[in-house]
Amino acid sequence: MILSTAMTAPPTNPRFAEIESHRGYLVRYALSQLRDQQLAEEAVQEALLAALEGIGKFDGRSTLRTWLTSILRFKVIDLQRRLVAERANVALDDDRIVEDHDAWLDDMFDETGHWRSPPQAWNDPEAALEQRRFWEAFEMCLAGLPSTASRVFFKREVLGEDTPVICKDEGITSSNCWVILHRARIALRGCLERNWFGREAVHGR
Amino acid sequence: MDAEDDLNCRQASRLLSLACERPLDARELRSLKMHLDECLMCTNFEMQLRFLHKASEVFRNAG
C-alpha cells in the first residue's frame, strides 16, 4: 500500500527521491506519537505529498528532515484529535509491561547477572554516522523493538523529551519507564552489533 | 569494601541506563565506578550508550 501510494506522487519532481528518503524516519516519528501503524503511515503519506507540493517554500534554514517533521506534526495532531474523539486513550497495563521487559532482561544475563552476549568494542562508531546503510540498519533496529520500547526510546533519545513527560503521556510510572528504556538500549546495541558493527569485516567499513 | 555494593553486569547496565534519566547518587556512582574499573564488557556498553545517544540526535537532524 505504501509503495503504490508513493507511486502516485509525481516522479518528475526533482526532489522526490530526496524527500522520499526521509520516509523511514518520519514513520518512526509518527509511530512514536500515534501508536498505530496504519494511521502513522497515513499521516506520513499526507505529509510527504504536502511537502512535494510545497517544496518551493523550504528555505533551507533548517534541515530538510526538520522541515518535513514540522509538516508531519500538523498531520499527526489532526489525527490525534480525530482519535480522541473516537476512543478514550487506552492506558497501558503497567504491571504486565514490567514483567515482559524483566523477563526479556533475564534472557540477556545469566543467573549470576553476567552478559550472555557481551558487548564488544566498536571500531570507530562515529564513522558509521556518515553512511547511508548504517541508517538503514538503525531504522531497522528501531522498528524491531517492541512497540512500547521503540516509542519510548524514540521520544526520549531522538526527540529528547524529558522522561517524566514521556511517562505521563504513556501513563506509566518512572521506574517502569526506566525498565523499558534499559531494555530498548540493550536491544538496540545488540541489534547494531549483529547487523553493523559485528560485520565490519564483511562490508569493509 | 561493602559486599552489597558489588554489582553484577545486569545491575551495572541498569545504572548506566538510569544515568541517562537522572543523576546517580553517591553510592550508585561509587559501586558503578568500581564495577567499570574491572569490567571491559560494561565499559563497552557505556560507550555504546553514548553512541546511541549521539546517533539518535543525528537521526533527528539528518539532512
Question: Of A125, A128, A185, which is closest to B17 when you measure between CB atoms?
Answer: A185
Domains of chain A, by residue range, sit at 2-86, 94-203
* pLDDT tens figures, A140-162: 999 999 888 999 999 999 999 99
Alpha carbon A134 to its chain centroid, in Å, reads: 15
Burial of A33 (0-12, 13-18, 19+ CB in 10 A): buried
At A36 the pLDDT is 87
CATH of domain A94-203: 1.10.10.10
Partners of A171 in the β-ladder: none
- pLDDT given at position A165: 92
Digit-coded pLDDT (tens) for B9-41: 999 999 999 999 999 999 999 999 999 999 999
HEC string of chain A equals: CHHHHHHHCCCCCCCHHHHHCCHHHHHHHHHHHHCCHHHHHHHHHHHHHHHHHHHHHCCCCCCHHHHHHHHHHHHHHHHHHHHHHHCCCCCCCHHHHHHHHHHHHHHHECCCCCECCCCCCCCCHHHHCCCHHHHHHHHHHHHHCCHHHHHHHHHHHHCCCCHHHHHHHHCCCHHHHHHHHHHHHHHHHHHHHHHCHHHHHHHCC
Residue in B8, B51, B59 closest to A25 by CB: B59
Do A157 and B52 count as a contact with CB atoms less than 8 A apart?
A: yes
Cβ atoms B21, A163 nearer than 8 A: yes
Mean pLDDT of A82-93: 61
Mean pLDDT over each residue of chain A, to the nearest integer: 85
| Cα separation, B29 vs B34, whole angstroms | 9
The minimal CB distance from B49 to the residues A120, A160, A185 is found for: A185
**Closest partner CB to A114 (pick from B8, B47, B55):** B8
Decide if A70 contacts A77 (C-beta within 8 A): no
Question: A185 and chain B: CB distance < 8 Å anywhere?
Answer: yes
Q: Is A103 on the interface with B (CB under 8 A)?
A: no
| Chain B residues contacting A via beta carbons under 8 Å | 8-11, 13-14, 17-18, 20-22, 40-42, 44-45, 47-49, 51-63
Output A138 or A200, whichever has higher pLDDT: A138
Q: Which grid cell is B56?
A: 539518535
In the prediction, which pLDDT does A20 show?
92
* pLDDT for the residue A59: 86
Note whether A157 contacts B53, CB cutoff 8 Å: yes
End-to-end CA distance of chain A: give it in Å, rounded. Answer: 35
Q: Which H or E run includes B24?
A: none
The residue-averaged pLDDT of A34-53 equals 91
Q: pLDDT category, A169, cuts 50, 70, 90?
A: confident
Fold classified for A2-86? Rna Polymerase Sigma Factor; Chain: A (1.10.1740)
Contacts of B18 in chain A (CB under 8 A): 178, 182
| ipTM summary value | 0.93
Q: How far is the alpha carbon of A73 from chain B, nearest alpha carbon, in Å? A: 14
